Structure 1
Amino acid sequence: MTLSTEYPFVLPKGFVDEDGEVHRNGVMRLACARDEIEPLRDPRVKDNEAYATIIVLARVVTELGTVPRVSTATIEKMFASDYRYLQDFYRVINFGDPTILETLEPGAPFPEAAVGVD
């Protein structure tokens, strides 16, 4: 048995870069403890706890179209639906059952049960 550590995704709308190019395809890796601990030291998180999610996503999204490096600025500029999609995707691959990804259309919303929403 092998463990998958990277998962491809397709954003519902796509990240629009400064040249107007839309990037929908990406890859997210599994998070490690450091990915969730390090953001707590960031001063932006001390001012706003919700910012930790942006930092975590910037750490674990390893590819996004032809964007050379995914940063917090990249995540900040995403459409709300894409940001929500990445949050749900993160929950599924790290805390849920990633086999659900095989049953979904690219960019489709996740079933509430898959992301732990009651």
Structure 2
Amino acid sequence: MRRTIPAAVRDGHGSPGAEAAGRGEQRTERLRTEFPFELPRGYVDESGSLHRTGVMRLATARDELIPLRDDRVRENSAYLSVVLISRVLVRLGTIEDIHPGIVEDLFASDLAFLQDFYRRINAEGHTRAAVTCPSCQESFAVDLAGGGRLGES
């Protein structure tokens, strides 16, 4: 799913194409809908292979509504995040058919990472997080989608 949005709207400046329209042109850029990530621990499949990298896409209204009809979610509301995450994961390592069973088998730290990642890209619109160095107490931002792990260069 690829969508375009005028740069002026994407950047929060005025109406669609307001700046470009004054010049007789309309500049559009692609809306980023997929975000790569690297799990803290990784998913171990049935054959013992470790899958740490993946791609999550932006959620649609349907992605958030359909799980509410799922019997597992009706019985246990905590299961909502499992179904929701399984719907928006495009790829996990070499696995492209992501289903709730795979998400159930993630380590708790990886599920927590994906839940936070989901919130960041869908509610906040970015994958940056503010962090503070434990040694020097300097604050800076890191991109969680960058693929690197905290503390690595």
In percent, how many aligned pairs have the same letter?
48
- Tell whether 2:135 aligns with 1:103: no
- The one of 46, 50, 58 equivalent to 1:30 is 58
Instruction: Look up the SS of the partner of 2:128 in the other structure.
Output: helix
The gaps in structure 2 that reach 5 residues or longer are 1-6, 8-29, 130-140
Does 1:71 find its partner at 2:110? no
For residues 107 and 78 of structure 1, the distance between their equivalents in structure 2, rounded to whole angstroms, comes to: 18
- The answer to whether the 8 A contact 2:120-2:127 is kept is no
CA distance in 1, matches of 2:102, 2:69: 20
Aligned residues: 108
Higher relative strand content: 2
Q: Contact 1:9–1:107 (CA<8 Å) still a contact in 2?
A: no
Q: Structure 1 residue 104: deviation in Å?
A: 3.4
CA contact (8 A) 2:36 2:53 kept: yes
CA distance in 2, matches of 1:99, 1:87: 12
* Deviation sequence 1:59-110 (CA, Å, 0-9, x none): 00010011241110000000000000000000000011415178236354xx
* Cα distance in 2 between the residues matched to 1:14 and 1:86: 11
Task: Please give the residue correspondences for 1:1-118 in structure 2 after superposition, counting only pairs within 5 Å.
Answer: 1=7, 2-100=30-128, 103-104=142-143, 106-108=148-150
TM-score normalized by structure 1? 0.85
> TM-score, normalization: structure 2?
0.66
Unaligned segments of structure 1, at least 5 residues: 109-118
Larger radius of gyration: 2
| CA deviation profile, 1:27-46 (whole Å, cap 9, x unmatched) | 00000001010001010011
Question: Helix, strand or coil: the match of 1:50?
Answer: helix
Higher relative helix content: 1
CA contact (8 A) 1:15 1:22 kept: yes
SS in 1 for 2:112: helix
